[in-house]
Structure 1
Amino acid sequence: MIITSDPIIIADILNQGGIIAYPTEAVWGLGCNPHNQASVIKLLNIKSRPMHKGMILVAGDKAHLAPWLVQLSPELQTKLTTHYLSPTSWIVPDQDIAPTWVRGEHQSIALRLSQHEGVQAICQAFKACIVSTSANPAGLDPALSLEQVLAYFRDNIDAVFDVPLGQSKQPSQIKSLLDDQVIRQ
């Protein structure tokens, strides 16, 4: 396992099918290349998370959201790409843009334009969205420190992006882009 603060190294690991741990706005996350089915399945297995639930994709720049933005009205595009006080992941219609192994049983996908500089750096180096799910095995609290990430996943991840955790007090809320219904507070 590699521990680094270099986003280029992290992007190379993602391109090779690796699983990474990285800090987000509030908690540590696990991520991988959403287009690499084997990586997504490995990530789901180490978390004991069922595929049918689907996962969040996190972007560092609105250009990474372009495939979804083109299908939205200008108002919805603005809502998806606006920065909010609390990190917000939006449930967005997905017409076979994201792979089924990321969407799960849904015809939508959860997307977040991250305000966390570390997440932005990873996505910029990777040149795309990455999978974002909390760094915790099912039933345990999300990791809030590098030490906790290592205690949970030391032998199951390929790299750790060692930059500071964001200052948000709770993980991203999840809302429906179309009607503002709160899915997770």
Structure 2
Amino acid sequence: MKEEIKNACEVMNKGGVILYPTDTVWGIGCDATNEEAVKRVYEIKRRADSKAMLVLVDSPVKVDYYVQDVPSVAWDLIELTTKPLTIIYDGARNLAPNLLAEDGSVGIRVTNEAFSKELCFRFRKAIVSTSANISGEPSPAVFSEISEEIKSAVDYIVDFRREETGHPKPSSIIKLGKGGEVKIIRE
């Protein structure tokens, strides 16, 4: 696992795009602070860059770095959740501008899965995590369902957890608004 993390970090540090296992489905990832790398992910997915993508971090502490004013309820949600939870925050900062939604918000998930957590920790920056599919096509749940088109478009494919056959679900998504308003986007 350590060698795979080292290789993936080297590729992302050079502005490359990776295919990697996350705490939910397999993801296409890159340095979330690199505008050119983010642009490549949109191109690979054939997705309009007006549709924001989420990022993974390894620790709740990192959320503060990427969000101007984290609502206090976010800390409780992160601490108490028992399954992967993406929280959409207003006031994103320190991220590639083309990664954010038109309103300046960003979805961030604190991963607790061993590989993606260690990858985020070693990379020391937020990592884009978007499903490994062409926009509009079904999201592949396992590695064997990822299209050859996606596999050939990325710079590095992590050789870890490829044989898994379980069907993980995408994360729940909650948007936190001003004044502690909570809106459930996906359960």
In the superposition, the TM-score normalised over structure 2's length comes to: 0.85
- How far apart are 1:48 and its partner, in Å? 1.1
Where does residue 8 of structure 1 map in the other structure? 6
Write out per-residue CA displacement over residues 50-92 of structure 1, whole angstroms, 9 at most, x where no aligned residue.
111111011112232231466235x334135325222110011
1:181 aligned onto 2:171: no
**Which whole-Å CA distance do the structure 1 matches of 2:102 and 2:173 have between them?**
17
Q: Which residue matches 1:116?
A: 113
Q: Give the CA RMSD over aligned residues.
A: 2.4
* Pair 1:166–1:70, CA change in 2 (3 A): farther
- 1:20 touches 1:160 (CA, 8 Å); kept in 2? yes
Identity of aligned residues (%): 24
Query: How far apart are 1:118 and its partner, in Å?
Result: 1.1
Q: Kindly tell me the number of residue pairs found equivalent between the two proteins.
A: 181
Segments of structure 1 that go 5 or more residues without pairing to the other structure are none
Q: How does 1:32-47 map to 2 (within 5 A)?
A: 32-47=30-45
2:157 to 156, 160, 163: 160
SS in 2 for 1:78: helix
Q: Structure 1 residues 138, 77: closer, same or farther in 2, change over 3 A?
A: closer
Shift of residue 167 of structure 1?
6.3
**Cα deviations across residues 3-41 of structure 1 (Å, max 9, x unaligned)?**
x96211111111011111111223111010112111111
In structure 2, the partner of 1:139 is 136
Check whether the contact 1:93–1:108 (CA below 8 A) recurs between aligned residues. Answer: yes
Single out whichever of 61-70 and 169-178 deviates more from structure 2: 61-70
Structure 1 outlier segments of 4+, above 4 Å: 165-168
Q: Which amino acid aligns with 2:10?
A: D
- Counterpart in 2 of 1:81? 78
On the 8 A contact 2:32/2:125 being kept in 1, the answer is no
Distance change in 2, residues 1:156/1:83 (3 Å): farther
Structure 2 gap ranges (5+): none
**CA contact under 8 A between 2:35 and 2:97: conserved in structure 1?**
no
